[in-house]
Amino acid sequence: MARPRRIVLLRHGESEGNADDTVYERVPDHALYLTEKGRRQAKEAGGQLRAMFGEEQVSAYVSPYRRTHQTFKALDLDPGRVRMREEPRLREQDWGNWQDAQDVRKQKVNRDAYGHFFYRLAQGESGADVYDRVGAFLESLYRSFEDPDHPRNVLLVTHGLTMRLFCMRWFHWSVAEFESLSNPGNGEFRTLLLEPGGKYRLDRPFERWCTPESYDATG
């Protein structure tokens, strides 16, 4: 099995929705563009990734959203060394179709109180749903490692919540641990590094906004 040296998780640059959430009333989530700031963030990340990958080959998987495709393009990676595939299972958590901004804000408040993993958006998904499709993607990714010529680097261009859920699935974090962590900023990435023993470690942690809750099993 040819395990890659690195698995890089990159959040897209700032999108129109990050800058102004009322845009969701006019534009579908998947069709949002990067802002100028978002393009700058992606270009900056590209410089860091090019230095990291050097002359090595890269297998890239990109969420099907416009902002993730634009982010990948702005990275300006060498097309001769990168194999890119669109991967729908790495998409953003589904919030529904044309959205009522006031309703979305209300649901965000409710989700914060209820928990991001279990709360199901009225016309969309729960974090648990995203976890399940990320798990299905991981099964496909593991199978790709069976190729002895698999690239030494994997790059996932995706979304903040999806990044946290990917790591939750990979490292077997508890729901409480997941709930205690914040999304990375736009254009930020985290890297899973292969250690000599065959296991991976996260290069740096996600920021923690609270102490994980400890359930009392004795009830």
Query: Do β-strands 82-86 and 6-11 pair in parallel, antiparallel, or remain unpaired?
Result: unpaired
Count of CB atoms within 10 A of residue 79's CB? 8
3-state secondary structure of 9: strand
Known catalytic residue at 188: no
Give the CA distances from residue 82 to residues 2, 43, 164, 192, in Å, rounded to whole numbers and listed in that order: 17, 17, 24, 18
Known catalytic residue at 213: no
Give the CA distances from residue 178 to residues 62, 95, 172, 184, 213, in Å, rounded to whole numbers and listed in that order: 23, 20, 10, 13, 10
Helix (H) or strand (E) holding 205: none
Helix (H) or strand (E) holding 26: none
Identity of the amino acid at 11: R
Active-site annotation holder among 14, 16, 87, 92 = 92
3-state secondary structure of 61: strand
* HSE of 125, CA atoms in CB hemisphere, 13 A: 16
Q: Which residues pair with 7 in a beta bridge?
A: 154, 192
Active-site annotation holder among 12, 14, 16, 188 = 12
- Tokens linked to 43: 């270009």
Nearest to 90 by CA among 114, 71, 103, 118: 71
Catalytic residues: 12, 92
